[in-house]
Amino acid sequence: MPENVCFIICPIGDEGSKSREHSDRVFNDIIKPALLKAAALIKIDFRPERADLMKDPGDITRKIMLKIVESPLVIADLTDANPNVFYELAVRHAAQKPVIQIIEANQPIPFDISMIKTIPIGKKSGDWEQIAEQIEAFYKQGAFTPGKETPFKDHPLGGIFTLSSDNLREISDNLREINATYQNFFDKILEELKTIHADNQISEQNLQSRIDSQNSQLRNLVIQQSSESLTSTRELEKMLKSLQISPINITRGLDKNVDQPTEDIELRSLAIYLFRSKRNIATNLIEIITQRNDSGNTHNTNEFCSLIQKMVEENHYWITVTKDKKPGELEEIIQRFFHYLLRASIS
């Protein structure tokens, strides 16, 4: 006798729940005896299967749908109006294949499927016999003859459209082909992403190499500038010695521990400002003051202060420091300002 699957749609529930106890009782005490009786009547041995008893690996939902659509026989237990049961029953109706509806005695049957024969169970011990008789009736209609299955029309979709096993198989094959096409497409994208990632890693390595090279150049430049600054400092010390001026006097007021006269703060601020924003003016001032000191021509102090004032663009620091000062005081201010300019040039 050929073996066929009879898939059971039923409320399963959690282990130990009332739904599980009910489904186990129906499976063992009603459906199994009914299938044995049917095997004796039509010589077809149906093997009962239930979703929670399936041991095949993979996507369980897809496997359940395939069983619902492809199995030659399905028994649906409508007891307690479980939503999953009605959803799976609708899928079976769409496949237009034989399905036997059963329900716990005295429970209501939903209106949309009330016209379909539904066998009450649990009220008497012979209810499984009605299931076997229904299977025999399907057999006589040619429902289980391989290659000659007739659409099962005893449901709401009967005669509305026909979806044969061949149609379903064709749809399934098309879906597999589409899935394979997209899988190849995504595999190519994945390979492209791996290539891009590898290229990015190479780019990162090149970038890091460039950064290291630039850091090395920067270190060399700092060393070179430090060396040049050191040379400039030594030249400045020689200049100060020739002018008989102590470097200590130049830095007076720069130490935070030494009180700075207001004039010195303003002169120092002006010198720093000029070297940061008007370096060419600061350089010119050093040159003309140096030439003036070298020539010994230190008369006309007021005119020289006016020249400085124009060069610093009427800066308020200079005006504040030189306001109402006598020639001797102005000369001292000029020299102090000169010292701060020199100091700012090497800082």
Average pLDDT (15-28) is 92
pTM of the model: 0.46
Q: Looking at the structure, tell me whether residues 21 and 154 fall in a common domain.
A: yes
Tell me how many domains the chain contains: 3
Task: Pick 216 or 133 by higher pLDDT.
Answer: 133
Q: Are 35 and 75 in contact (CB under 8 A)?
A: no
CATH code assigned at 131: 3.40.50.450
Is 250's pLDDT higher than 60? Answer: no
116 & 180 share domain: no
| Range ranked top by mean pLDDT from 2-6, 80-84, 207-211 | 80-84
For position 1, what pLDDT does the model report? 38
Identify whether residues 139 and 25 lie together within a single domain: yes
For residue 219, the model assigns a pLDDT of 56
Q: Do 22 and 78 contact (CB within 8 A), yes or no?
A: no
In this predicted structure, the answer to whether residue 116 has a pLDDT above a threshold of 80 is yes
Res. 319 pLDDT band, cuts 50 70 90:
confident
Q: Pick the last residue of a domain from 163, 185, 207.
A: 163
Among the listed residues 141, 89, 137, the one whose alpha carbon sits nearest the alpha carbon of residue 110: 89
Burial annotation 228-250 (CB, 10 A radius, 16+ → b, else e): eeeeeeeebeeebeeeebeeeeb
- The answer on 103 and 235 residing in a single domain is no
Residues 311 and 282 in one domain: yes
Give the least confident one: 82-86, 99-103, 240-244, 328-332: 240-244
Q: Which of 218, 242, 266 is the last residue in one of the domains?
A: 242
DSSP state of 113: G
Claim to verify: residue 64 and residue 149 sit in the same structural domain: yes
Let me know whether 35 and 137 are in one domain: yes
d(CA 33, CA 29): 7
**Whether 130 and 195 share a structural domain:** no
* Domain residue limits at 314: 247-346
The answer to whether residues 61 and 88 belong to one domain is yes
Tell me: do 321 and 335 sit in the same domain.
Answer: yes
19 and 151 in a single domain? The answer is yes
Spatial distance between the Cα atoms of 265 and 220, rounded to a whole number of angstroms: 35
Same domain, 147 and 18: yes
**Are 56 and 112 contacting, i.e. CB atoms less than 8 angstroms apart?**
no
pLDDT tier at 235, thresholds 50, 70, 90: low
The DSSP secondary structure of 281-324, one letter per residue, reads: HHHHHHHHHHHHHHHT----HHHHHHHHHHHTTS-HHHHHHHTT
Q: Are strands 45-50 and 99-104 parallel, antiparallel or unpaired?
A: unpaired
Per-residue pLDDT of 42-86, as tens digits, reads 888 999 999 988 877 778 888 899 999 999 999 999 999 999 999
Final residue belonging to a domain, choices 143, 163, 183: 163
